[in-house]
Amino acid sequence: MDIQRVGIVGAGQMGNGIAHVFALAGYDVVMTDISQDSLDKARKLIDRNLTRQVSREKISQADKDTAMGRISSTMQLSDLGDTDLVIEAATERETVKTAIFEDLVPHLKPTTILTSNTSSISITRLASRTDRPEKFMGFHFMNPVPVMQLVELIRGIATDKETFDACHTVVERLGKTAATAEDFPAFIVNRILMPMINEAVYTLYEGVGNVRSIDMAMKLGTNHPMGPLELADFIGLDTCLAIMNVLHDGLADTKYRPCPLLTKYVEAGWLGRKSGRGFYDYRGDEPVPTR
Ligand SMILES: NC(=O)c1ccc[n+]([C@@H]2O[C@H](COP(=O)([O-])OP(=O)(O)OC[C@H]3O[C@@H](n4cnc5c(N)ncnc54)[C@H](O)[C@@H]3O)[C@@H](O)[C@H]2O)c1
């Protein structure tokens, strides 16, 4: 299966990173979003991140220029019609994702592989809402995409071998490494990571430590490069809460109960770095803990 043209739905934190790595690996990329602002910001961010790679001598100026030239943006889903692979990277809400697939599918070639970058939602269920469950799978990048080595590949119950093999080949061409996960809530990485982040929020909620002491303890005490609250802000607190809800609903175990403090931050619109405030306030020169 020859993949050359790739569609990316959702140009947020993940979508721009995914566009970056595909364009650099020589794929033609079409990015789409419901927000023109997100598309404009994504292009600027990709440009800035590629420039940083040039200044660190990881890529040449010519690589950067070619990669930027391979990326186009559109607000029309129908412009993804001639893509060979689509990666959906929109907001982590099942109703949003199923609506996207329903609107998108009539425009696609029968051979186009459909994938979702979802952190937690059932691939099998998303696939069942399309006309091609056998050509549907989970393509889960880590944040920040240009830096992180891993891609989780998740097979839905109906995913065929040809589709899985084609996505595996794409991961290799991107210079990344695939880990295969079965389709259970939150797959591997987030099944393990999110309960730890949620526990860090409980630790804060119960007053065992403050933001700084919790992050310091986990960085220096367990050799993690980032503290769990810093990492939660980086991922997005809405995404963290959505994943905890998927674990809680999908596995029906109270150990996955989202911390009420996490819910409160999301209700306040304090979503972490992307909204300027979360467990830290990013509006000044240095991040300042909010608790
Ligand atoms: N943030 C992370 O660390 C991380 C890591 C791996 C996977 N993911 C997953 O990636 C996906 C995107 O997360 P993100 O962090 O980039 O979120 P984000 O909030 O930064 O971006 C989401 C984007 O989707 C767009 N969008 C919303 N509805 C849309 C629609 N109907 N059509 C097209 N675009 C639409 C929004 O305008 C926004 O630009 C989620 O499924 C998330 O679980 C996130």
Q: What is the pLDDT of residues 106-149, one digit of tens each?
A: 999 999 999 999 988 999 999 999 999 999 999 999 999 999 99
pLDDT for position 112 = 98
Could you say which architecture CATH assigns to the domain 5-181? 3-Layer(aba) Sandwich (3.40)
Q: Decide if 43 contacts 122 (C-beta within 8 A).
A: no
Q: How far apart are CA 145 and CA 229, in angstroms?
A: 20
User: Ligand 1: does its nearest atom lie under 6 Å from the Cβ of 9?
Assistant: yes
Does pLDDT of 223 surpass 80?
yes
- Give the percent of the chain with pLDDT over 90: 98
pLDDT band at 93 (very low <50, low <70, confident <90, very high): very high
Average pLDDT over residues 266-281: 97
Does pLDDT of 1 surpass 90?
no
Reply yes or no on whether 152 is catalytic: yes
CATH 3.40.50.720 in the chain is located at 5-181
User: Strand 288-289 relative to strand 280-281: parallel, antiparallel, unpaired?
Assistant: antiparallel
pLDDT band at 173 (very low <50, low <70, confident <90, very high): very high
Does domain 191-289 bear CATH number 1.10.1040.10?
A: yes
Residues near 97 by Cβ (< 8 Å), separated by ≥ 6?
88, 90, 116, 118, 121, 126
User: Ligand 1: does its nearest atom lie under 6 Å from the Cβ of 219?
Assistant: no
Does pLDDT of 277 surpass 90?
yes
Output helix, strand, coil percentages for the chain, rounded to the nearest 5.
Answer: 50, 15, 35
User: Ligand 1: does its nearest atom lie under 6 Å from the Cβ of 15?
Assistant: yes
Reply yes or no on whether 248 is catalytic: no
Q: What is the mean pLDDT of the chain?
A: 97
- The alpha carbon of 17 and the centre of ligand 1 are apart by a number of angstroms equal to 11
One-letter amino acid at 266 equals V
CATH 1.10.1040.10 in the chain is located at 191-289
pTM for the full model? Answer: 0.91
